[in-house]
């Protein structure tokens, strides 16, 4: 491609992004942040579904809403946008030309859709044997649900996450809850990025590409993690426990006199320091509480003691005292408070990039930091079809698709 060379460890890599909404675009945004040239293929006029998932919309310098939805802006930084009608012979030719010059393709069409257009892995591999092709779907390329559509919310439910998320039975507000961000989409995007990068490394050894099948339900099943293993080794199905950790105590939300604090004690030494800070050093010597297994077993006895003790303190004073002795704890910040946190500000997680409609657009950037290949955040989420003409010129086509 004729594009200006980018910075980052993937500055030599080209990605053809045939995905939309969240999981696939999250993966390709990771690759873009790492320096890859990511070409986002969108439907003419409509574009990615998330462009319309507002309000809120980005505001221009006069305070008026633009056409760029916040949801879309969260997952498409660093890419170039081209509009292509893949149902047409002309559009299919463009995709094949782009695939011939790409290292990676990421797509999330329904199973069988791309094969109808001659754009599936087998067809593109014939053009580019080194191509790494990743398909992201709800249920994968095989199995009884392979053709079914899926969204994050439904997979959180089907995959068991909501059965262990939410307040426990008998408590106010009890009931299944989804996670407050589309965590299955995000984790599927993360696995997709890991998968294509692993295939890229392997290709350096073999010269061959690969075909990667990512299913959101597989991902959700995979990151049940300790909750799945708790069931597998005990035979007891995990249940919602509110904020309480099922294996380590005390880990929960506790009310102070003027707000809430998250406590995340991880070992017996930290528990002893907690007790001392609370003025209850004797609890750490009590056989019912001295070890983590004992605290888990006797949680019903320990919990009310802790809640009474926490209620005697102001939140910030107690956090300072616990920080001083190395007991993990934290305030429950709102989203604005997160970005006002001195540590988050110091790490530069929030940046403002130039934007053609709004003047600038805020972006929550990659948490990856490389000493030898620093990342550069120099390209905002693209306007629909913003780079169509330049991309077509790159592949020898003068007119727009």
The residues carrying an active-site annotation are 185
Residue for token pair 């929030």: 350
CA 15 to CA 64: how far, in whole Å? Answer: 34
**106: helix, strand or coil:** strand
The DSSP secondary structure of 175-226, one letter per residue, reads: S----SS-HHHHHHHHHHHHHHHHHHHHHHHHS--EEEEEEHHHHHHHTTHH
Distance CA 24, CA 134 (A): 9
Contact 112, 137 (CB under 8 A): no
Return all residues near 319 (Cβ < 8 A) that are at least 6 apart: 261, 329, 330, 331
* Per-position DSSP letters for 13-65, written without gaps between them: -EEEEE--SSHHHHHHHHHHHTT-EEEEEE-TTT-SGGGGS-SSEEE-TTS-E
Helix axes 315-324 and 268-277, enclosed angle (nearest 10) = 130
Q: First vs last Cα of the chain: how many Å apart?
A: 18
């Amino acid at each position: 491609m004729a594009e200006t060379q980018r910075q980052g460890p993937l500055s030599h890599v080209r990605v053809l992004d045939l995905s939309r909404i969240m999981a696939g675009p999250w993966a390709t945004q990771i690759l873009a942040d790492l320096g890859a040239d990511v070409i986002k293929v969108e439907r003419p006029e409509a574009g990615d579904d998330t462009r319309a998932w507002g309000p809120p919309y980005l505001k221009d310098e006069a305070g008026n809403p633009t056409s760029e939805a916040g949801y879309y802006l969260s997952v498409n930084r660093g890419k170039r946008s081209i509009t292509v009608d893949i149902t047409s012979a002309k559009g299919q030719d463009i995709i094949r030309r782009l695939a011939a010059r790409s290292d990676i393709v990421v797509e999330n069409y329904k199973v069988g859709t791309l094969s109808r257009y001659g754009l599936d892995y087998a067809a593109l591999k014939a053009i580019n044997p080194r191509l790494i092709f990743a398909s992201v779907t709800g249920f994968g390329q095989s199995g009884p649900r392979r053709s079914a559509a899926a969204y994050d919310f439904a997979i959180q439910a089907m995959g068991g996450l909501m059965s262990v998320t939410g307040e426990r039975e008998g408590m106010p507000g009890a009931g299944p809850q989804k996670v407050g961000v589309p965590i299955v989409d995000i984790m599927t995007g993360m696995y997709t990025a890991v998968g294509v990068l692993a295939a890229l490394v392997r290709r350096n050894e073999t010269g061959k590409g690969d075909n990667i099948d990512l299913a959101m339900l597989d991902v959700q099943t995979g990151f049940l993690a300790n909750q799945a293993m708790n069931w597998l080794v005990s035979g007891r199905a995990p249940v919602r426990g509110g904020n309480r950790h099922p294996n380590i105590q005390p880990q929960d939300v506790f009310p102070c006199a003027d707000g809430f604090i998250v406590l995340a004690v991880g070992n017996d030494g930290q528990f002893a320091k907690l007790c001392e800070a609370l003025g209850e050093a004797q609890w750490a010597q009590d056989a019912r509480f001295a070890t983590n297994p004992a605290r888990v077993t006797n949680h019903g006895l320990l919990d009310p003691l802790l809640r009474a003790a926490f209620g005697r303190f102001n939140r910030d004073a107690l956090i300072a005292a616990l920080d001083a002795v190395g007991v993990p704890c934290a305030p429950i910040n709102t989203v604005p408070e997160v970005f006002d946190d001195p540590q988050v500000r110091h790490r530069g997680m929030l940046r403002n990039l130039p934007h053609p409609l709004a003047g600038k657009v805020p972006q929550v950037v990659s948490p990856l930091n490389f000493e030898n290949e620093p990342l550069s955040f120099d390209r905002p989420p693209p306007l629909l079809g913003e780079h169509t003409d330049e991309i077509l010129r790159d592949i020898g086509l003068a007119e727009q698709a």
